[in-house]
Amino acid sequence: MTEVLRTPDECFADLPGHPFEPHYAEVVADGLGPVRMHHLDEGPADGPVALLLHGQPTWSYLYRSLVPVLVARGIRVVAPDNIGFGRSDKPARPTDYTFARHIEWMRSLVTTLDLRDVTLVAQDWGGPIGFSVLAAEPDRFSAVVAANTILHTADPALAGRLDWAVHGSGESRVVLEQALVDYLLHTQRAPQLRASDFVGAATARPLAAEVLAAYDAPYPSEDLTAGLRQMTALLPLTRNDVGARIGRRTMRALEEFERPFLTCYSDGDPATRGWDRIFQECVPGARGQDHVTLAGAGHFLQEDAGEELALIVAALMKRV
């Protein structure tokens, strides 16, 4: 058994632009007892599902501007908080969090809610987690919108194709982007970790102070940040990392995915730049799609171009 913490509900009171009721489901992963995962669940219960997955260091608040646009078009919106994030449970030990468990927890939510006819919208770590759930449950997914995301493989074939290098070189060396290593080390060494520092630095336009505070709302004390810190430590930097092996297995599944796969990347995100072209080349369902590059948006394109992203998702769902 492990200690599991919860952020007090009052921390989430009166967040700007976030009128949604919380929903919870128990999810499971190997080696740990059930934990409670929070998710937004808006729109018609019998509508096609948009599954909106966040990454590091955000939570479902990131998608608040997309929800009403999608619901107005008859779409059911499910936006979970990864375990350790947002209103979801937060195991206290950093080692309770593994890449495999994040995938299992999200798969458990999808199967517990029995989600079908799902369009996956994945940003940041939402891609590696969500694509791996798709690989395990392919019949539940009708389409994908990959939005500023990657797939951890450390494949030497990535050399020269990414703005932020993460790939093997020769038999025993790796090439890593300095900014990525700096980011990883900071998250492990900083005495205090604030989600808002990273969100505010990775948007193209300044965010209001109350919006930045909403990203910090799940973490009123340092003991609640184990998952926030550990997700960055889970970044696979070598081909030998278990996460890279999961990523390569997931990529093989995507190479068989023939349903619509649309890339929607911003022009202001060097951390993921290049992965849109890789997905377009490798995923059969990406061929012939009207892939999008959003101008004037940063890594968190939901903040810079949320309504535009929502309309792109809705248009794809109307076609499938």
Cα(132)–Cα(136) distance, integer angstroms:
6
Q: What confidence score (pLDDT) does residue 2 get?
A: 84
Respond yes or no on whether the N-terminal peptide bond of residue 57 is cis (omega within 30° of 0). Answer: yes
Catalytic residue selected from 38, 54, 152, 299: 299
* 172 CB neighbour count, 10 Å cutoff: 9
pTM: 0.98
Which domain covers residue 299, as residue numbers?
4-319
Q: What confidence score (pLDDT) does residue 187 get?
A: 95
DSSP 232-266: HHT---STTSHHHHHHHHHHHHHTT--S-EEEEEE
| 269 tagged catalytic | yes
Query: Which residue positions in the chain have pLDDT lower than 50?
Result: none
Catalytic residue selected from 81, 155, 269, 304: 269
| 46 tagged catalytic | no
| 124 tagged catalytic | yes
For residue 114, what is the domain's CATH number?
A: 3.40.50.1820
Dig out the tokens for 146 from the structure. Answer: 């990959």
pLDDT digits (tens, 9 = 90+) for 143-171: 999 999 999 999 999 999 999 999 999 99
Count of domains forming the chain? 1
Q: What confidence score (pLDDT) does residue 307 get?
A: 98
pLDDT digits (tens, 9 = 90+) for 13-39: 999 999 999 999 999 999 999 999 999
Dig out the tokens for 58 from the structure. Answer: 């955000």
Catalytic residue selected from 124, 155, 276, 304: 124
